[in-house]
Structure 1
Amino acid sequence: MTFLPTLRRLTAALVLFGAALVASAPVHAQQEISPEHLAKAREYVDMTDSAQLYERTLIEMGLRVMRLMIQEDPSLRDPLINALQTVYDGYLADRDPLYNQFARIYAIRFSLEELEEIVGFYSTPVGEKLLSQNAGINEDLQLVLGVWSRNTSNEFLSRVRTELRNQGYNAPEVEAPVLEEEGEAAPQ
């Protein structure tokens, strides 16, 4: 399997996937979901990382706002922290509409019976352990993937240069792209 045909197949698959999403969007929008079905999906959202996405997103927004405002006026630090907490608390109190949209996504993809089984699993000791460990596991996976990506980017570029040279081309001497984390250049 070569890269170009694989890339072409991937591109074609993405185009087909996008077309399928567009074609199925009205079905999702019009699909009737019983209140019981939606309630079970919401139960799942409330017990999983899906709900934590909202809190993490709010925290990330707050940190970006804080950086921007403190750069402009460092004397705002203390009042800004209080203002951010007030705004954060307000958004947390008003999270139900978004969580209900999350629940709708699950209700569209899983039957009521499937959701009952899923929620049942997460109510077992192993399911509860998985739930309690998910955030840490996801952070560890992101850390490992970030380190791997930084370490591999130079090697990947080197292999591409070598392959171009093997094919008789003069490979340009460029540096591997620097990955960024939270607005800072990642170490290589």
Structure 2
Amino acid sequence: MTALSSRRPMFAAAYVLALAAGALAPAGAFAQTNPPAAAPADQQPQFTPEQLALAQKAIDASKSVAGFDDILPGVAEQTKALFVRSNPLLASDIDEVTDKVALSLAPQRRDLDRVLEEVWARRFTQEELQQIIDFYQSPVGKKLASLSPELVALSIGAAKQWQDKIATEMVTQVRIEMDKRGHRL
């Protein structure tokens, strides 16, 4: 098994984690500003190197995008499966070539980092970014960062169970009410 094929894609979980990371922080742990309205293309905000560095440090401290490292290996696995399905006799060559191409594409991961830095820099001031960093460097912040994947998974599971329960109750109650009106569903 290659280094790339030993990892499983976690893009969806990582995406949810990234979205939820701020929501899971204790109230008052750091202030969040409302994002400004989108600027016209010719007036895109310019961020200082310090802002972007603080944003990256906050991202790293929160561990909110750790699963994004699995995107490229996941795409490589999907690519292998696609080509092997069409020609199984070439599986060994397909694995070798796909791993080589994936490794050549790995430096492009920095492009995603730049976008994420700007996303955070656009939404938080430098002072807020420093507060986020300070929080995630505290014992409770470190604990939150390490437990976030588990918390998100458990939260998603609980929400799914609740959704299923509510859906069953809704269908039952709508049927009862429609029966009262003389309609059989």
**Mapped pair 1:67 → 2:81:** yes
- Aligned-partner Cα distance in 2 for 1:79–1:144: 44
Structure 1 residues 139, 56: CA separation in 2 closer, same or farther (over 3 Å shift)?
A: farther
Does structure 2 conserve the Cα–Cα contact (< 8 Å) formed by 1:50 and 1:102? Answer: no
Question: How does 1:90-105 map onto structure 2 within 5 Å?
Answer: 90-105=104-119
Tell me by how many angstroms 1:154 deviates. Answer: 4.6
Residue correspondences, number? 150
Task: Compute the displacement of 1:57 (Å).
Answer: 3.1
TM-score (normalised: structure 2): 0.62
Q: Give, in whole Å, the separation in 1 of the partners of 2:174 and 2:99.
A: 48
Going by fraction, where is helix more abundant, 1 or 2? Answer: 1
Structure with greater contact order relative to length (CA < 8 Å, sep ≥ 6): 2
| TM-score normalized by the length of structure 1 | 0.61
Aligned partner of 1:36 in structure 2 is: 50
The answer to whether structure 1 residue 25 and structure 2 residue 38 are counterparts is yes
Preserved contact between residue 54 and residue 129 of structure 2 (Cα < 8 Å)? yes
CA distance 1:114–1:148, shift in 2 (3 Å): same
Q: Percent identity?
A: 25
Segment drifting more, 40-49 vs 138-147: 138-147
Q: What runs of 5+ residues in structure 1 fail to find an aligned partner?
A: 1-20, 172-188
What amino acid maps onto 1:32 in structure 2? Q
CA-CA distance at 1:108 after TM superposition: 0.9
CA RMSD of aligned residues (A): 3.2
Which whole-Å CA distance do the structure 2 matches of 1:149 and 1:63 have between them? 32
Distance 1:53 1:64 in 2: 17
Counterpart of 2:183 in 1: which secondary structure? coil
Distance 2:154 2:132 in 1: 24
The residue type paired with residue 106 of structure 1 is: W
Instruction: Specify the code of the residue in structure 2 equivalent to 1:161.
Output: R
Gaps of 5+ in 2: 1-34
